[in-house]
Structures are given as C-alpha cells and as structure tokens.
C-alpha cells in the first residue's frame, strides 16, 4: 500500500488515469541559492550496550561541498550515517540540520531534508524506474500532486529518461546506483547521504556517477559520502574524514589524508 497506493485505492486510480502535468509547469528548481553550513555533527556518540560504535565525533558539511567518510570495516561509518538520518537514536551529542537540532526528530520528519542511498540499492525490481523515483516525491510536503512530473524531471537531469518505463529488474546494476541517486536527490533535499555509491561499478559507470555528484555539488547540494574507492574519493571530495574504532582520526584534503602516516597504517594497512 505504501509503494503502490499511498493515497488509498481512489488515489491510486486517479494517479493512473489522470494526465500528468507537463514538467515545465512543475516548480523544479536547479541551482540552489542555499549557502553556509548545512549539517553540523557535534560530539555524536552511540553506545550499543558496552560497545561504543561512534565516539564523540564532530564535523560539518557545507552547501556546495562533498565530504567523504572513509575507514576500515567496523569503524562506525554506517552507524554514523544512521544517526544523521534518524535510523538510530543517539546516546549523546547533537545533529544540527540547517540550524535546527534534529537529534530527537523522528526519521519521517527528517526525510524531506535528507536524501539517502544505500550500498545495495533499495529499489523495487518490479516497478518502473519512474515509479521508483516517484516513491520519494510522492511523500514530499507540497509536492505529491506533481510527483510523476518531478520524477520525470529527475530522470531527465540524470540522463535516465530512456529508462522511465522499464522495470528496474531489466536494468543493470550501474544504472541502479544512478536511479537511486536520482531518487535520493528528488525534491532537492538539503543533505545527501550516499553509502558506497561507486561499489560494483565499471570505470565508465564510476565516471558517470562522479559527473552526477559534481553537478549536484554545483547546484548547491551538501553531500556526505561513505566510500572505499580512494581513487573515486580523490576525484570528487573537497574534504575527507577518516574513522577508526568509532573515532575521527584524520581530516583534510584527499591528498593530505592519503599521505597521512596514521591513516596509511589504520586504513590502507587494513586493506592490504
């Protein structure tokens, strides 16, 4: 019901039979004027019983900036993502989004301002590409009535319009990542959280993904990326944060972080 008929049976029928409004009549804004700090994470801490998965982590992401979060498996990166998006409650600390502390705000209240993708894309294989993207825009305040047109605009922005009516199960993994990115960025959320977007992609697909992220950055998006592909990180990131055992152990430009002896021992040694 949530996926196929969120407005009930009659809403489902109206959506399928009504003529969708032309894209040009829908308020799709490209090139946001938002500036300054989008996300502030302040002394974020998460305990699971006796295990401290995230330990007093602080950083910020600005509009028009890509920040990459790297570290060995088990460093706490995914848990930190869950704290920011609201999947997990914090033990202590603050999550400030556009000046408002959302640390105690339920996940559904954060969803309009936070778009998230996952390491394994969470698309519905028996739905079309268009309907998978519309699954987000259907639930954005004030935009549901233009959901399909907004979804079409997203597909056009990512050069995916040729896949609009195709079932996701008929499309390759590389495009799944791009479709999920199109969905996550639908409605121009303040913050994008991308969990290993380059994993499993060919070099051409990685290049296409990098171009899409750079375009979103130029449009003013604030982007936080968890990624293991260091070459990809070096291509897209303005700043790199390194986590180990729940703590931030380094931060800086990609070149400075990669050259850091402590990072090489903690991270690159773990990958050797």
Radius of gyration, alpha carbons of the chain: 19
Domain ranges (residues) in the chain: 34-113+190-272, 125-188
Q: What is the pLDDT of residues 24-83, one digit of tens each?
A: 334 444 455 678 999 999 999 999 988 999 999 999 999 999 999 999 888 999 999 999
Average pLDDT, the chain: 86
Q: Which of residues 139 and 32 earns the better pLDDT score?
A: 139
- pLDDT above 90: percentage of residues in the chain: 63
Separation of alpha carbons 230 and 74, rounded Å = 18
Task: Taking residues 76-102, report their average pLDDT.
Answer: 95
**This prediction's pTM:** 0.84
Q: What is the pLDDT of residue 172?
A: 85
Q: Quick one: average pLDDT of 214-226?
A: 95
Residues above pLDDT 70, as percent of the chain: 84
Nearest to 209 by CA among 240, 185, 241: 185
In this prediction, residue 7 has a pLDDT band, given cuts at 50, 70 and 90, of low
**What is the average per-residue pLDDT within 9-31?**
42
Convert the pLDDT of each residue in 148-169 to its tens digit: 889 999 999 999 999 999 999 9
Q: How far apart (Å, rounded) are the C-alpha atoms in residues 114 and 135?
A: 15
Distance CA 48, CA 52 (A): 6
Q: Is the pLDDT of residue 142 over 90?
A: no
The Cα 229–Cα 8 span in angstroms is 43
Provide the strand spans (E) within the chain. 37-48, 51-62, 65-70, 92-97, 100-101, 114-117, 191-195, 222-226, 239-244, 247-252
* pLDDT tens by residue, 173-213: 779 999 999 999 998 899 999 999 998 888 998 998 999 99
Look at 265 and 222; give whichever has higher pLDDT.
Answer: 222
Q: Which CATH superfamily is domain 34-113+190-272 in?
A: P-loop containing nucleotide triphosphate hydrolases (3.40.50.300)
């Amino acid at each position: 019901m949530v996926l196929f008929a969120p407005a009930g049976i009659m809403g489902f029928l109206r959506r399928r039979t009504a003529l969708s409004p032309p894209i040009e009549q829908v308020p799709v804004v490209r090139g946001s004027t938002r500036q300054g700090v989008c996300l502030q994470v302040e002394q974020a801490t998460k305990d699971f019983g006796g295990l401290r998965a995230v330990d007093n982590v602080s950083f910020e992401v600005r509009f028009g900036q890509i920040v990459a979060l790297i570290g060995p498996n088990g460093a706490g990166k995914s848990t930190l993502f869950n704290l920011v998006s609201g999947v997990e409650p914090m033990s202590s600390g603050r999550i400030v989004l556009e000046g408002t502390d959302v640390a105690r705000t339920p996940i559904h209240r954060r969803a309009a301002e936070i778009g998230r993708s996952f390491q394994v894309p969470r698309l519905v294989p028996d739905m079309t590409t268009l309907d998978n993207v519309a699954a987000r825009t259907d639930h954005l305040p004030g935009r549901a009535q233009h959901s399909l047109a907004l979804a079409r605009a997203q597909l056009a922005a990512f050069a995916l319009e040729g896949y609009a009516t195709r079932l996701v199960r008929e499309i390759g993994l590389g495009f799944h990542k791009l479709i999920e990115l199109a969905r996550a960025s639908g409605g121009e959320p303040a913050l994008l959280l991308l969990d290993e977007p380059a994993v499993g992609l060919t070099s051409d697909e990685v290049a296409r993904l990098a171009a899409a992220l750079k375009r979103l950055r130029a449009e003013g998006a604030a982007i936080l990326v968890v990624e293991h592909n260091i070459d990809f990180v070096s291509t897209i990131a303005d700043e790199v944060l390194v986590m180990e055992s729940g703590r931030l152990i380094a931060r800086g430009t990609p070149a400075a972080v990669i050259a850091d002896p402590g990072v090489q021992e903690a991270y690159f040694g773990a990958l050797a």
